[in-house]
Structure 1
Amino acid sequence: EVILEKVKGDDPNHEVVIHNLKYWQAQTNDGFRMWKSKHEAFDGKGHNFSYDGTNGFLITIHFSGMAKPPAAD
């Protein structure tokens, strides 16, 4: 279970968004929308955890065609 809430910024009418940040092989994205967890939990298969107030984000990626692997450093 994951319950998220928006991070409150200076303007309550707009989300806090980080732009100009690459996300894996996505060709473009709309920015990282900053949210935080009100509650995050898992109970099963011998692994149980629960967190509250951790950082999180939402992102919408745009992709078409074949992704090219990143260039070697």
Structure 2
Amino acid sequence: MIRLFAAAGFVVGFALVLAAPIALLHAMADSRAVTDLPTLTQGDVYLIAGVMGLGLLLAGFSAIMWLASDIRPT
């Protein structure tokens, strides 16, 4: 059961890392369609980095939980 949660957490975390920049940049391009090129503000960069960081934390914690589930008391 622990491995199921660990695998799900890893998949969700990895998806956040991959999808966050694409989704946020796409939303920015739609909201600033009046200009030729969308410009990144400092807040946008922090938001992208924060979501990716949370995804990395979730994926890393899930990988550690997966590996720790193999440890048996002797």
The TM-score, its normalising length taken from structure 1, stands at 0.23
Say which structure, 1 or 2, has more relative contact order (CA 8 Å, 6+ apart): 2
Q: Which structure carries more helix by proportion?
A: 2
Structure number with bigger Rg: 2
The TM-score, its normalising length taken from structure 2, stands at 0.23
